[in-house]
Structure formats: C-alpha cells, structure tokens
Structure 1
Amino acid sequence: MSDTVGGDEPLLNRAQIAQIFNVSENTIDKWRGKGMPVEVEGGNGVAYGFLFSACKEWFDESQARAAAEKRAADDFVAQQRMAFLGIDKKDQKAGLSPAQMRELAQAELVWMQAAERRRSLVQVDEMVELLDLVFGEVRAGLDGLPDWLEREFSLSGEDVERVVAYNDGILRAIKIAIEAAALRERPEVVDPLDRGLI
C-alpha cells in the first residue's frame, strides 16, 4: 500500500504497522479493538490503512494512561496495606511513596544479607533443620540409653523402666520449653543504660 494521506506520510497496512511497533498483526487487531485509529477500514478484500503518526499518538496516550492506572492501583494497595498492618499515617514509613518503600526494602535486604554472611542472622528454615538434627540425636541417645545401661551395669527391669521414665521426662521438658518459647512474645529490647548495666 503506497497511498499517502494529508502530505508525505504513507498509509500503512497491518503488516507494516505491526513491523514498526515490533508486534504481531493479531496485536494490531487487538489494539484496533481498543481504539487505535484506522484511516481505511478493511474487509472484503480491502486492506486496513493506518497512519503511523495517529497510531503512535494513540500508543503513547495508552501507555501513559496504563502507567497512571498502575500508579493509582499501587497507591491504593499501599494505603490498604498500611490500614491492614495498622500503620499510622504518622509513622515515618507511611509518607513514603511506593518507589521509596521499594528502596527501603532493598536497603533492608542488603543489610539482612550482610548480617547473614556475618552469621549474625540465620534463616528460619536453616535453624529448623539444625534443631531437627540436634533433637533427633538427643532422642536417639535417650532412647538407646536404657539398653546401654542395662548391658553395662546389669540393671534390673525395674531400674530400666525408671531410666525410661526419666528420659521421657527430659523429652517432655524440652517440648514444653520449645512450645513456651514459640508462643511467648518476643521481649522488648531494653537499652543497657535503662537496666543499669552500664
């Protein structure tokens, strides 16, 4: 298609306008459905005709509108998140834009990664794995202890039962201590000056 409309700008077909925007012809059809301007309506053997300048203007406006809608949605999400988390607007973080919140989150991530490299911060799953291993060894040792004591010291059946009961008590105490620590709120960090330690 080599016709020109209103001066030097040529009228382009679907394939040509798709090539300029680096998209498929199907995408051009979708964009047409969303309002991309068409100079010549195609159909029944007639090719669609597009002016690049009109299509580019529509594309830029669509991108700007989509960006504005995304910003509005991001702002809404941030506000609802603050409300859900109970963050007061007076909180220092409350006035941050989504971009500033992202920067703050990235800074916190870098700090946590550095702390993790120093081994002053341990991942929960690593700790759970370590505790599973340690307590597995403790349980195995306590379970095998009565048999070992019976063989080494010729304990009576009654004495072995007492050792088993004692070991069960140790395991129960460990379980209670773990549950209490997991359910207890973390203590507030107290300044050593306030406690009279310094």
Structure 2
Amino acid sequence: MGNKVGRGTLLNRTQTAALFGIAATTLDDWVRRGCPVVERGSRGKRWTFNSADVHAWREHDIRSETAGVQLATSDELKRRKLAAETGAAELAYAQAAELVAPVEQIERAMAKAFGEVRANLRNVLPSRAARRLIGETSETRLKAVLLEEVDHALEALADTDLIAEADLDLSDDEDGDED
C-alpha cells in the first residue's frame, strides 16, 4: 500500500478512503474537521496521510460525537458568532425603541394585575352571587348564575386599567418607597 513510517503507513487520498471504507469526499470533510494530513495535495502533488494518525483522530472524533461534543468548523464558529452579534444588536435596538421591557417590570405588572383579579373574584363575586342564589335548588340555575357573575366580574376587570404607569417604573425600591 504505502511506506511504513513509525506507527503507521503513508497512504494517498484514495488509499486512505479505501482503508476506512469511506468516499473520498467524506475524507475531504474529515480533513476540514481536523483530520491530520502529512502533506496536502495540489495539482500534480498527491495527498499523504499517516494511517495511524488518521485512525487515532477518527477514534477521538467518534468519542466526541457520542459524548455530544462536536468540534465546530471555523465557518460554523463564524456563523454562530455573527448570529450572536446580530441578536445582540437587534435586542439593543428593540430596547432603545422601547419595544421590549425588562422581565422585572413585566413580573411586577403581572403580579399586580393578578392580585386585582384575585381580589375582585374573591370579594365581589361571592357577595353578588350569594344574594342571587338564596333558596336556589336547581343545579343548572346555580351554574348559570355563577357563570354570569364570573363573566360580570371579568368584564368589569377588562374595563379597568389593572396596571398603572407607576407599576411599570423600576426605579422605585422593592418596598414601594421612592428614592
């Protein structure tokens, strides 16, 4: 096949592909991913691989793939970096244009809104429903009245601003005291 060198045999591209049972294009892909090459080929010059080095690289490559650690190509790393930079720039633009809000601001507003909904349903609904249901024995009528009262409470909440502008201001202390 080729010359015996140290712990491997020197092989050309076709011989290396045949040894590993792969297509020459697959070997090209391996080289792009870091497969060791003794000498790169060009016009009139053959590729040279050391069979032992290629075998050791392939073993490491297989272990990396099965461990979920894949070595990225430089093109893939560049693409990922560009995507990250683009995402960061888009987020910065959205923040400057006030198209997004900090998570803390949303959490504060949602907690206030849900508190209002809970208070309304717990305080208003039972008192209004109780007056309408005194002496009622029909399950169908009980359900209908309760649904009407729930709908009425939710409609009232829908017409109310549950979140004031101050609820969205993060400059306040957590205790609600202003600086």
Q: Check whether TM > 0.5.
A: no
Alignment TM class, shorter chain as reference: 0.3 to 0.5
Work out which structure has the larger RCO, using CA pairs closer than 8 Å and 6 or more positions apart in sequence: 2
TM-score relative to the length of structure 2: 0.36
More helix by share: 1
More strand by share: 2
